Amino acid sequence: MASQSPTPQHAAKPSGRQPGRHFLHIPGPTNVPDRVLRAIDNAILDQRGPAFGKFSLALQEKVRRVFKTTQPVIMFPSSGSGAWEAALVNTLSPGDAVLMCRVGWFATLWYEMARRLGLEPILIETDWRRGADVEAIAEQLRRDGAHRIKAVCMVHNETSTGVTSRVDEVRAAMDAAGHPALLMVDTISSLASIDYRHDEWKVDVCIGGSQKGLMLPAGLSFTAVSAKALAAQKTARLPRAYWDWQAMLDNNATGYFPYTPATNLFYGLDVAIDMLEEEGLDNVFARHDRHAEATRRAVRAWGLETQCAEPRHYSSTVTAVRVPDGHSADALRASILERSNMSLGNGLGPLKDKVFRIGHLGDLGDLQMIGVLGGVEIGLRQCGIPHKPGGVQAAVDFLAGNA
């Protein structure tokens, strides 16, 4: 008699509960480590008392180390978008020209904010598949003999496309052109995950957020500012009240804030930076590089394509994956969420329903990375999206050989 496969004793029934831990792998907010959650859970500290002032001064010094700067870093209770606005209104005046490169959706949002604030953005278009066009930026600066352009604004890591631009090359182009514009950089999805050097690259204003590489909930924004940016503040005429840097700097000098700070997020930030420094920032960057390469090898093995088409611009924190024509990235994401309890990032703007985004940043180890890629491969098969098997194996082979 032919053998038969054993029949499960209990047939699966619809369930209102998904077992196991939810896999959150959007490009931010990222998973918050238990150690950071425990720190946030401390009792409120009097933000006007002596203990807070001492704690705050020490924390400011730790934050500067993450930015690799000796200059002030201002912390607003806000998302990164608040720091975008603060960067513009503290340094510029109505009608000022700002040079921006549209490398994706978040670069577009910063452009729209500048326009609404009464600035005159000069926009360099790209195909959303590579980083900032350094030569086009250089050409615009060379042609601006009257120095109408007051700032060059760039997104270091464009979350919507998985593209990282070269800040050092943009700074070199500005220096070669002898142009006095401020250099403003958004590092919201790269800070503490991809190498960034505020002082060495002579960045004037750098924007960061708490909810990505810093492994915190959303609610804190960071603005590292140069002496040149602070000098520009004295003549800037865009209106500002809540976002006024000077009020923050005057109070921060003694460890305090002009209004109620996000005290419990500061507790978490203090511990998060300890964790980063215990691992070593260079090791943190290398870990993100490894996981990004493992992800790309899986994508190639599946026969799919990354949105970023230029290898030197690959992001180490997020990979945007294009689905074949005629298939829905959003349907794939919905299926993976329902069946595997994993959240992936959606396509934004013109990439809506065309890409899904794998976030591989924050407190992430090799086993989690393999789990994420396994969830994607299961989803591709279940949704009937044309692909080759073996993506997870390609990632395993890479990670096993690259400790």
Are 27 and 48 found together in one domain?
Answer: no
CA 12 – CA 390 distance, rounded (Å) = 28
pLDDT attached to residue 13: 56
In this prediction, residues 165-190 reach a mean pLDDT of 98
Q: Does residue 294 fall inside a structural domain? A: yes
Q: Does residue 9 fall inside a structural domain? A: no
Are 317 and 228 found together in one domain?
Answer: no
pLDDT attached to residue 5: 45
Question: Which of 276, 310, 335 is where one domain is finished?
Answer: 276
Provide the token pair at 145.
Answer: 């003999």
Task: Mention every residue, 6+ apart, whose C-beta is less than 8 A from residue 10.
Answer: none
Are 307 and 390 found together in one domain?
Answer: yes
Are 204 and 284 found together in one domain?
Answer: no
**C-beta separation of 207 from 84 below 8 A:** yes
> Which residue range(s) make up the domain with 104?
34-276
Cα–Cα distances in Å, from 249 out to 72, 242, 285?
8, 13, 30
CA 160 – CA 104 distance, rounded (Å) = 6
- % residues pLDDT > 70 (the chain): 96
57: domain CATH number is 3.40.640.10
Provide the token pair at 171.
Answer: 């700074």
Task: Mention every residue, 6+ apart, whose C-beta is less than 8 A from residue 284.
Answer: 192, 193, 213, 276
Q: Does residue 7 fall inside a structural domain? A: no
Q: Is 142 annotated as a binding residue?
A: no
Q: With a cut of 50, say whether residue 1 has pLDDT above it.
A: no
Q: Does residue 18 fall inside a structural domain? A: no
pLDDT attached to residue 18: 82
CA 243 – CA 88 distance, rounded (Å) = 10
Are 322 and 264 found together in one domain?
Answer: no
Domains: count for the chain: 2
| DSSP classification of residue 366 | H
pLDDT per residue as tens digits for the range 318-329: 999 999 999 999
Are 135 and 257 found together in one domain?
Answer: yes
């464009």: which residue's tokens? 158
In this prediction, residues 219-225 reach a mean pLDDT of 98
The model's pTM is 0.94
Q: With a cut of 50, say whether residue 371 has pLDDT above it.
A: yes
381: domain CATH number is 3.90.1150.10
Q: Does residue 162 fall inside a structural domain? A: yes
In this prediction, residues 361-367 reach a mean pLDDT of 97
Q: Does residue 1 fall inside a structural domain? A: no
Are 227 and 287 found together in one domain?
Answer: no
Question: Which of 244, 276, 308 is where one domain is finished?
Answer: 276
| DSSP classification of residue 314 | B
Question: Which of 242, 276, 310 is where one domain is finished?
Answer: 276
pLDDT per residue as tens digits for the range 5-54: 444 555 555 457 788 889 999 999 999 999 999 999 999 999 999 999 99
pLDDT attached to residue 403: 73
pLDDT per residue as tens digits for the range 235-274: 999 999 999 999 999 999 999 999 999 999 999 999 999 9
pLDDT attached to residue 2: 42
Are 56 and 177 found together in one domain?
Answer: yes
Q: Does residue 82 fall inside a structural domain? A: yes
Average pLDDT, the chain: 95
Q: With a cut of 50, say whether residue 305 has pLDDT above it.
A: yes
Q: Does residue 175 fall inside a structural domain? A: yes
SS3 93: coil
Provide the token pair at 284.
Answer: 């943190």
pLDDT attached to residue 9: 56
């513009």: which residue's tokens? 88
Cα–Cα distances in Å, from 314 out to 103, 319, 373, 398, 402?
13, 8, 18, 17, 18
Are 303 and 347 found together in one domain?
Answer: yes
Are 211 and 289 found together in one domain?
Answer: no
pLDDT attached to residue 10: 53
Q: With a cut of 70, say whether residue 401 has pLDDT above it.
A: yes
In this prediction, residues 215-237 reach a mean pLDDT of 98
Are 28 and 39 found together in one domain?
Answer: no
Are 363 and 394 found together in one domain?
Answer: yes
